[in-house]
């Protein structure tokens, strides 16, 4: 492929990613499909297409797009991450677990994959495993918000909420606009019979 052609394709791919980041999934899909119509071998184009389809609640299309990305680049861990995400959105939790296991085998240093593994384990009601995955991710990046929140969630559901206090505090600091850590702080306050603190935390969460 000529460098100029490749550069044009990457710009088109970047446009699709930007639209997806903005939550404009229909336009991102149009952009990705336009790219793939001239560059069907663009694995990342299929990957972003899968992401957008999953957010549009189109799990079959998301799974198919992720599998096309894998077929084109079978050693790229991020394509298996995307497949895991698609299967998780479709409630195919066993398939999701298998995909994220492959992603982590290919690249054990992607913190997002530990977050995905924790989320899938939570959906499978394997709470101790969910906790372990979240903690593995936090060892790589102590401020990874998804792993922080999933560790909190696992501890709450394991009736170990007192252990979650440092993570609740850190999560609120990292993203004070997110409702979840404020709700978790409310649950912790209720556990301690601190009714006023609990009410304030729940109000903030809302």
Are 170 and 143 in contact, with CB atoms under 8 Å apart?
Answer: yes
State pTM to two decimals: 0.88
- Find the farthest-apart pair of alpha carbons in the chain and give their distance in angstroms, rounded: 67
Q: How far is CA 76 from the centre of its chain?
A: 17
Q: DSSP assignment, residue 120?
A: H
Provide the sign of the torsion angle of the four alpha carbons 170, 174, 180, 183, taken in this order: positive
| pLDDT per residue rounded down to tens, the chain (206 residues) | 445 566 778 889 999 999 999 999 999 999 999 999 999 999 999 999 999 999 999 999 999 999 999 999 999 999 999 999 999 999 999 999 999 999 999 999 999 999 999 999 999 999 999 999 999 999 999 999 999 999 999 999 999 999 999 999 999 999 888 898 889 888 888 888 888 888 888 888 88
């Amino acid at each position: 492929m000529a460098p100029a052609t490749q550069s044009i394709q990457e710009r088109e791919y970047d446009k699709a990613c930007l639209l997806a980041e903005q939550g404009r999934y229909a336009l991102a899909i149009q952009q990705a499909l336009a790219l793939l119509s001239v560059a069907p071998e663009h694995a990342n184009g299929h990957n972003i297409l899968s992401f957008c389809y999953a957010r549009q609640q189109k799990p079959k299309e998301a799974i198919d797009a992720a599998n096309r990305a894998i077929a084109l680049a079978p050693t790229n861990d991020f394509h298996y991450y995307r497949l895991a995400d698609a299967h998780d959105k479709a409630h195919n939790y066993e398939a999701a677990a298998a995909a994220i296991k492959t992603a982590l085998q290919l690249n054990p240093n992607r913190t997002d994959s530990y977050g995905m593994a924790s989320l899938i384990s939570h959906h499978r009601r394997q709470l101790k495993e969910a906790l372990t995955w979240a903690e593995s991710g936090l060892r790589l990046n102590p401020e990874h918000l998804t792993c922080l929140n999933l560790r909190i969630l696992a501890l709450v559901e394991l009736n170990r909420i007192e252990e979650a206090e440092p993570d609740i505090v850190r999560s609120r600091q990292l993203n004070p606009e997110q409702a979840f850590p404020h709700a978790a702080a409310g649950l912790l306050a209720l556990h301690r019979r601190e009714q006023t603190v609990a009410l304030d935390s729940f109000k903030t969460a809302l």
